[in-house]
Amino acid sequence: MNNFNNLVDMDDYTVPQWNEIIGLAEKIKANPEEYSEKCRGKIMATLFYEPSTRTQMSFQAAMIRLGGNIIGFDNPGNSSVAKGENLKDTIKIVSTYSDILVMRHTQEGSAKAAALVADCHVINAGDGGHLHPTQTLTDLLTLKCELGRLDNLTVGLCGDLKYGRTVHSLVKALSCYPNNKFVLISTPDLALPSYIKDVIRARGSEFTEVNTIDEAIKDLDMLYMTRIQRERFADDSEYERQKDVYCLTKAKMQYARKDMIVMHPLPRVNEIEVAVDDDPRAAYFRQANNGMYVRMALILYTMTREPKIKPLLVGEIHKDIACTNPKCVTRTEEYLPHSFINRGDILVCEYCDERILL
């Protein structure tokens, strides 16, 4: 049992609760001074096992703007992780020093593993190529601010849809709102994982798959560009083959609607030409700024909401079956129970969502 307000995946909260957090972020954005003492005396730990600019600093700025304090590391090499301390011990200790713990980690399912042992609220700031729910809250707030709605949207997602945790969380969230359609723009090798496509189908949303931006751009309300992430490829030659496939240029923007917006979770490498930045439809820097306001709202919501007592693992424990995903947190944190949801002919890892055929 767990009685903290964790955000490991977007489905830890309901759609009305997402809307509540986004509504609170809009109020904070309009009048930040009103919230400057709301977290006085509270401590947030930010544990970043993987590099970050926006997520880490916007969380830290958010807590400081709420009147709270921050501790943590942005390089595990400067902590006792470098001496071999496991995730469990680090989280157990740091969570007793803090009221809320924000963690980014290289391994998929690591946020759930942290929430299992933490003595405070845990927020997933990105677990490998798996999920990034606070980026999704940022993206939803940006859509609300820029287009005024979260439904009836045709959304193009371009680039690394396979390892793109921001894409996975965003697609899962937007498919909960009515009449949203997705155009998935990727190479076959970087296509959206089938389990996310299953989520889209199960929620009754439509999607199409294309190979080029040109095929899709004229129909879109929003184009979500993503970086091809070198750090996610097991083989660097594969990255070299994929890295320059997509680039949004000023020339391509001529074919987009006048009211289409371009979003990107950032960092950008070369998938959006710098000249596009001057186009008023380029919303990605405004999007990054929204991240701070939505994280202020999330911290406040997490701290003030009555905890919902719920189990973090609900599946079957199989001691003799290992998750087949080499990036799953259970592969290195060996004390974790091997917990799976049984879907008849497959087991679904409860940490990383890997499907294992029986």
Residue bearing tokens 């601010």 = 145
Taking the least distance from each CB to ligand CP, the nearer of 109 and 340 is: 109
Give the whole-angstrom CA distance, residue 341 versus residue 198.
Answer: 15
For residues 247 and 270, is the Cβ–Cβ distance under 8 A?
A: yes
Q: Rule CB under 6 A: is residue 55 a binding residue for ligand CP?
A: yes
Q: Rule CB under 6 A: is residue 267 a binding residue for ligand CP?
A: yes
Segments in the chain forming alpha helices (H): 15-30, 54-65, 87-97, 110-117, 133-147, 165-174, 194-202, 213-216, 236-242, 250-253, 284-304
Taking the least distance from each CB to ligand CP, the nearer of 139 and 350 is: 139
Q: Rule CB under 6 A: is residue 122 a binding residue for ligand CP?
A: no
Shortest spacing between CB 48 and ligand CP, in angstroms: 8
Shortest spacing between CB 226 and ligand CP, in angstroms: 10
Pairing of strands 316-317, 339-342: antiparallel
For residues 300 and 24, is the Cβ–Cβ distance under 8 A?
A: yes
Q: Rule CB under 6 A: is residue 54 a binding residue for ligand CP?
A: yes
Shortest spacing between CB 158 and ligand CP, in angstroms: 16
Binder to ligand CP among 95, 135, 186, 330 (CB under 6 A)? Answer: 135
Q: Rule CB under 6 A: is residue 266 a binding residue for ligand CP?
A: yes
Q: Which stretch binds ligand CP (CB under 6 A): 140-148, 249-257, 262-270, 340-348?
A: 262-270
Binder to ligand CP among 111, 265, 295, 300 (CB under 6 A)? Answer: 265
Q: CA-CA distances (angstroms) from residue 142 to 14, 70, 129, 146?
A: 19, 26, 22, 6
What are 206's strand-pairing partners? 181
Q: CA gyration radius for the chain?
A: 20
Largest CA distance in the chain: 56
Q: CA-CA distances (angstroms) from residue 96 to 84, 89, 99, 162, 309?
A: 20, 11, 8, 36, 19
Shortest spacing between CB 262 and ligand CP, in angstroms: 15
Shortest spacing between CB 349 and ligand CP, in angstroms: 23
Q: Classify burial at 180, counting beta carbons within 10 Å of its beta carbon; exposed 0-12, middle 13-18, buried 19 or more.
A: buried
Q: How many residues of this chain interact with ligand CP, rule: CB under 6 A?
A: 9
Shortest spacing between CB 168 and ligand CP, in angstroms: 13
Q: Rule CB under 6 A: is residue 52 a binding residue for ligand CP?
A: yes
Q: Which stretch binds ligand CP (CB under 6 A): 6-14, 218-226, 259-267, 307-315?
A: 259-267
Q: Which stretch binds ligand CP (CB under 6 A): 46-54, 63-71, 217-225, 308-316?
A: 46-54
Q: Which stretch binds ligand CP (CB under 6 A): 53-61, 150-158, 179-187, 328-336?
A: 53-61
| Nearest C-alpha neighbor of 103 from the set 115, 117, 93 | 115
**Interface contacts to ligand CP, rule CB under 6 A:** 52-55, 126, 135, 265-267
